[in-house]
Amino acid sequence: MPETYRETYKVIGMSCGGCAKSVTSAIQSAAPGSEINVDLDGKTVSVSGAKEDVVKQAVEDAGFEFAGVA
Ligand SMILES: [Cu+2]
């Protein structure tokens, strides 16, 4: 999986900008240099530069439910 690999995941429980920020910073600290875009309406997080298991762990540590590839 190349570092620039981009994937979109479903994340359950995000309801506001604060949630988006929590998820973003959790992934960023787990995978420094990764690019994260949260879509609150679609309940998805698009990430490049981080592997799925790292994203999953960060999302769960932040208190949200990781629901796999969107
Ligand atoms: Cu929130």
Q: Tens of pLDDT along 12-65?
A: 999 999 999 999 999 999 999 999 999 999 999 999 999 999 999 999 999 999
As a whole number of angstroms, the distance between CA 70 and CA 67 comes to 8
Ligand 1 centre from 19 Cα, in Å? 4
Do 70 and 14 contact (CB within 8 A), yes or no? no
**Structural domain spans, the chain:** 6-69
Query: In angstroms, what is the span from residue 65 Cα to ligand 1's centroid?
Result: 13
Per-residue pLDDT for 11 more than 80? Answer: yes
Could you tell me the distance, in angstroms and rounded to a whole number, from the CA of residue 1 to the centre of ligand 1?
31
| CATH of span 6-69 | 3.30.70.100
Q: Token pair 């762990």 is at which residue?
A: 57
The burial of 57, by beta-carbon neighbours within 10 Å (0-12 exposed, 13-18 middle, 19 or more buried), is given as: middle
